[in-house]
């Protein structure tokens, strides 16, 4: 494939995603629906064939899922992952097994052979990591109980991809028991070596970057982020493990580092582009003509699978002790077929386990469930509340309050001398204060005072969102540069319109600009310097004024 042909196809696909995504967004719907529709119309079977590089674009687009999991791993350090608890992970394994059994049983009843029925159950057992996590992250619901449950289940499903791929090979008669055990042992060994290698590389990199400051060496941290995220995905693929899972582990190891917040913001633009390509490429897999011809079959199977997965996940999390509200919301989030159905279906079709019609059906149902997912996931909390009302009023789980418990009372942006002086009233006051600063020395000083420090460029919206600024009661902006401070102020007004905002202005002439932009109080450096000088001179006059008068009265 010629490079310029691939580039042209990529631009055409992204342009169509931009147009259709914008249209759907304009009418209050998820832009993901537009991305999928753009792929269906432009490339693949049954389309207008305006894009011919679907396989190359699909390969590139898989990196978007890897970067999504990498940025998610930056949010979830090892300590935070432990807080998910064992129950959601057990729920994930139970969901995969139950869905395979129930799906295989139903497919067998409807006339599929035993091996093909089991393959069908395996393909429908996984949910969409890319769709669900993107929506939950956009809506800031990952810290809610249904968000944490969904994350744990999706991680378990990603871990199950390799065993399910082995299952597809076994169903085709591709190896005896000894060969299977050897293969599984090799995979576990490679996975352990991968985690250990990523851990050691992370430590070495942190030692190398630890002396740098982001405002002076910004490009090095950006390069470090891309090399780590994409390198971990490549290493995982080489080891025979899910690339997305490898990227998540790498992000999680970096999650406890001082650079995590800024790295997440720096890769956000590339992640958005690659994820958009992913959804466009996913749409190109479907055949709209086949879907239209078999619409009744596709619609029936989609409804059965959506309701069935919802019921299975709901029941599992009820058994694990969650309220009906949280269990139902988790079930609705995960009641779709995931993108790995394409991978498993391709393996099954190559090995002769899955027929062309069954593969076309699974692909079509997956695409349709993607469309439904864009509408259902945002309504999961409302659905959970509705279910709770049917079962009688339920008290929220303790986890429902976790978001507010971790939300800051005060956010201080910039922690130079001005920020440190401004922070004095909050020392030892039992207030949750988050400091955002590019200089590591400032972060170290903030942590010594008992504050939480985040290394990041506050002019980037992602950094402020990561700090949960939308929950802050007060925001202090001490950045000296007028343009940067104005950009930060505009972001703050959008994210936290209720917050009290105090801004430092280096020059008096900018005071009116900050007030007009929404600051409640502006303290000018020039004004404070003038007041300080005037106060000092008044004291000096009071102490020496009499002597000056006597000197002046002497005759010359």
User: What's the pLDDT score for residue 305?
Assistant: 94
User: Quick one: 154 and 10 in the same domain?
Assistant: yes
551, part of any domain:
no
Span 260-317, pLDDT tens digits: 777 777 787 888 888 888 888 888 888 888 888 999 999 999 999 999 999 999 999 9
- Does 296 share its domain with 429? no
Lowest mean pLDDT among 75-84, 195-204, 460-469, 482-491: 75-84
pLDDT of amino acid 209 = 61
* Whether 157 and 250 share a structural domain: yes
Residue 339: φ, ψ to 5°: -65, -20
Question: Count of domains in the chain?
Answer: 2
542 within some domain: no
Average pLDDT score over residue span 199-208: 72
User: What's the confidence (pLDDT) of residue 77?
Assistant: 63
Residue 53 and residue 86 in one domain:
yes
Residue 209 lies in a domain: yes
- Do residue 368 and residue 329 come from a single domain? yes
Same-domain pairing of 429 and 290: no
- pLDDT averaged over every residue in the chain: 82
User: Residue 540 falls within a domain, yes or no?
Assistant: no
Tell me which residue of 176, 168, 180 sits closest to 116, measured CA to CA: 168
362-366-367 Cα angle (round to 5): 125
Going from the C-alpha of 304 to that of each of 21, 129, 341, the distances in angstroms are 28, 21, 17
Rounded mean pLDDT, 177-204: 74
Which of 309, 340, 302, 339 is closest to 327 using CA atoms? Answer: 309
Contact of 144 with 135, CB cutoff 8 Å: no
Same domain, 366 and 421: no
CA separation for the pair 494, 484 (Å, rounded) = 16
> For residue 395, what pLDDT is reported?
54
Mark whether 164 and 296 lie in a shared domain.
yes
Share of the chain above pLDDT 90, in %: 21
| Structural domain ending residue among the three candidates 390, 415, 442 | 390
Q: Are 342 and 54 in contact (CB under 8 A)?
A: no
pLDDT value, residue 475: 93
Give domain status of residue 298, yes or no. Answer: yes
Based on the fold, state whether residues 239 and 336 are members of the same structural domain: yes
For tokens 């995504």, the residue is 21
Please tell me which of 72-86, 204-218, 315-329, 539-553 the model is most confident about, judged by mean pLDDT.
315-329
44 is a domain residue: yes
Same domain, 384 and 257: yes
pLDDT of 502 over the 70 cut: yes
* pTM confidence score: 0.69
Residues spanned by the domain of 471: 407-534
CA 270 → CA 64, 68, 266, 274, distances in Å? Answer: 8, 10, 8, 6
Given strand 521-524, what is the order of strands in its sheet? 452-455, 433-437, 410-413, 474-477, 500-505, 521-524
| DSSP conformation class of 30 | -
Least confident of 80-94, 97-111, 264-278, 384-398: 384-398
Residue 150 maps to a domain: yes
Confidence at residue 213, expressed as pLDDT on a 0 to 100 scale? 54
> Which pairs from 308-316 meet CB under 8 Å and 24+ separation?
308/99, 308/102, 308/103, 308/106, 309/95, 309/99, 309/124, 309/127, 309/334, 309/335, 309/336, 310/335, 312/95, 312/98, 312/99, 312/102, 313/91, 313/95, 313/153, 316/91, 316/94, 316/95, 316/98
Q: Does 305 share its domain with 454?
A: no
| 412 and 377 co-located in one domain | no
Q: What is the CATH number of the domain that holds 500?
A: 3.40.50.720
Q: Is the pLDDT score of 96 beyond 50?
A: yes
Whether pLDDT at 56 is above 80: yes
* Residue 277 in domain: yes
């Amino acid at each position: 494939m010629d490079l310029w042909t691939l580039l042209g196809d990529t631009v055409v696909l992204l342009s169509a995603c931009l147009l259709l995504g914008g249209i759907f967004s304009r009418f209050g719907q998820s832009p993901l629906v537009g991305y999928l529709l753009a792929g269906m119309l432009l490339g693949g079977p049954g389309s207008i064939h305006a894009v011919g590089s679907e396989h190359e674009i699909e390969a590139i687009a898989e990196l978007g899922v890897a970067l999504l999991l990498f940025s998610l791993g930056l949010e979830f350090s090892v300590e935070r992952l432990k807080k998910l608890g064992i129950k959601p992970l057990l729920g994930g394994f139970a969901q995969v097994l139950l869905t395979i059994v129930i799906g295989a049983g139903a497919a067998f009843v409807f006339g599929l052979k035993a091996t093909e029925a089991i393959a069908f159950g395996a393909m429908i057992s996984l949910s969409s990591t890319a769709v669900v996590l993107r929506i939950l992250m956009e809506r800031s619901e990952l810290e809610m109980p249904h968000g944490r449950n969904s994350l744990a289940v999706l991680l378990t499903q990603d871990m199950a991809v390799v065993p399910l791929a082995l299952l597809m090979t076994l169903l085709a008669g591709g190896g005896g028991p000894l060969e299977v055990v050897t293969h599984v042992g090799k995979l576990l060994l490679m996975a352990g070596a991968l985690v250990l290698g990523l851990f050691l590389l992370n430590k070495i990199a942190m030692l190398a970057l630890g002396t740098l400051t982001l405002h002076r060496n910004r490009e090095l941290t950006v390069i470090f982020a891309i090399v780590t995220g994409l390198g971990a995905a490549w290493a995982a693929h080489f080891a025979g493990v899910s690339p997305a899972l490898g990227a998540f582990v790498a992000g999680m190891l970096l999650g406890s580092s001082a650079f995590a917040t800024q790295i997440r913001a720096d890769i956000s633009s590339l992640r958005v582009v690659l994820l958009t390509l992913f959804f466009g490429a996913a749409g190109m897999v479907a055949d709209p003509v086949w879907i239209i011809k078999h619409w009744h079959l596709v619609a029936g199977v989609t409804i059965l699978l959506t309701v069935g997965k919802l019921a299975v996940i709901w029941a599992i999390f009820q058994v694990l002790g969650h309220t009906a509200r949280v269990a139902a919301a988790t079930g609705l989030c995960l009641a779709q077929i995931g993108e790995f159905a394409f991978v498993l279906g391709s393996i099954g079709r190559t090995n002769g386990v899955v027929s062309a019609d069954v593969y076309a059906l699974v692909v079509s149902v997956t695409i349709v469930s993607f469309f439904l997912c864009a509408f259902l996931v945002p309504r999961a909390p409302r659905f959970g509340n509705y279910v709770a009302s049917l079962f009688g009023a339920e008290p929220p789980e303790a986890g429902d309050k976790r978001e507010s418990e971790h939300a800051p009372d005060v956010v201080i942006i910039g922690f130079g001398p001005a920020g440190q002086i401004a922070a004095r009233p909050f020392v030892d006051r039992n207030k949750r204060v988050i400091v955002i600063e590019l200089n590591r020395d400032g972060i170290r000083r903030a942590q010594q005072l008992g504050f939480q420090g985040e290394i990041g460029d506050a002019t980037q919206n992602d950094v402020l969102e990561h700090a949960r600024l939308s929950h802050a009661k007060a925001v202090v902006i001490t950045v000296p540069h007028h343009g940067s401070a104005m950009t930060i102020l505009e972001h703050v007004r959008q994210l936290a319109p209720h917050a009290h905002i105090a801004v430092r202005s280096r020059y008096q002439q900018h005071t009116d600009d900050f007030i007009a932009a929404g600051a409640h109080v502006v303290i000018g450096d020039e004004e404070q310097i003038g007041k300080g000088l005037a106060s000092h001179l008044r004291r000096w006059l009071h102490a020496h004024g009499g002597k000056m008068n006597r000197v002046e009265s002497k005759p010359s």
